[in-house]
Structure 1
Amino acid sequence: MAELPSYVRMLRDGAGVQFDPGVLVSEMERGLAKTRVTQSRVVAQVAATLFFKTRQDSLAFEDWYFGVIKRAGFFDWRDSYTGRVLSVRFKGGDIGKLEPLTSRYGKAQRSVTLEYLR
């Protein structure tokens, strides 16, 4: 399986993990609402920023995105929170806008959302 290239740095500033609990809630006339689990596994989403030290790194990442994972494929990623290697993909195949941090994209970043089944 493909893995996130080593030249891509994952910044966790403003990052977070979120998931849909997969629970159905039925409101009751009196008392607490009834809840029941509807999914055995839920989709977790990780917001993160990809950082590229050089323009060549950002171009190589685009080649990897289009050529290796073909925009919608899964890849291995080590979660720094749990320490586990997870099979993830970019939510909706979206890698966000490339934002230059220095002139001529010498350093750049992309805001992305990774998703996986928990």
Structure 2
Amino acid sequence: MRTEMERGAPKQRLENSQVLIKQAMTLYFASIADVNIFDAWYFGDIKRIGWFTLVHPYTGEVITARFENGALGDLVPEEKLPEDYRMDVVVEYMR
């Protein structure tokens, strides 16, 4: 939070103890069967908007995250391997 002062520098203080971080990621699937397993988890277990745990791809720590707005990107065939697929997503978590 920032408060402008009549004279001198503005005063600042922390308003929240945690910050919401958004991280773009790409999910890779080895087959349509893997896509179906993911869909069952996404629609059934977390019901699109639920929180889940994952290992952060950069830090290696276990975090609790969710998909931003419960949204997923388009499922597209991977160009390198004919049966592989990929999907871009954005996850958000508190840091």
Aligned partners of 2:43, 2:85: CA distance in 1, in Å? Answer: 19
Pairing partner for 1:38 from 1, 12, 15: 15
The unaligned stretches of length 5 or more in structure 2 are none
Counterpart of 2:90 in structure 1 is 113
Counterpart of 2:74 in structure 1 is 97
Query: Secondary structure of 2:40's partner?
Result: helix
- Is residue 50 of structure 2 the alignment partner of residue 81 of structure 1? no
Aligned partners of 2:26, 2:54: CA distance in 1, in Å? Answer: 14
Which structure's residues are more often strand, by fraction?
1
| TM-score (norm. length: structure 1) | 0.67
Aligned partners of 1:32, 1:84: CA distance in 2, in Å? Answer: 38
Aligned partners of 2:68, 2:75: CA distance in 1, in Å? Answer: 16
The unaligned stretches of length 5 or more in structure 1 are 1-23
Q: How far does residue 51 in structure 1 lie from its aligned partner after superposition? A: 0.6
| TM-score (norm. length: structure 2) | 0.82
Q: How far does residue 27 in structure 1 lie from its aligned partner after superposition? A: 4.9
Q: How far does residue 39 in structure 1 lie from its aligned partner after superposition? A: 0.7
Moved more, 30-39 or 59-68: 30-39
Higher RCO, Cα 8 Å, sep 6+: 2
Deviations 1:36-92 (A, max 9, x none): 211111111111100111111112211110011111111110113222111111111
Aligned partners of 2:74, 2:44: CA distance in 1, in Å? Answer: 19
| Identical-residue share of aligned pairs (%) | 41
Structure of greater Rg = 2
Number of aligned positions between the proteins: 93
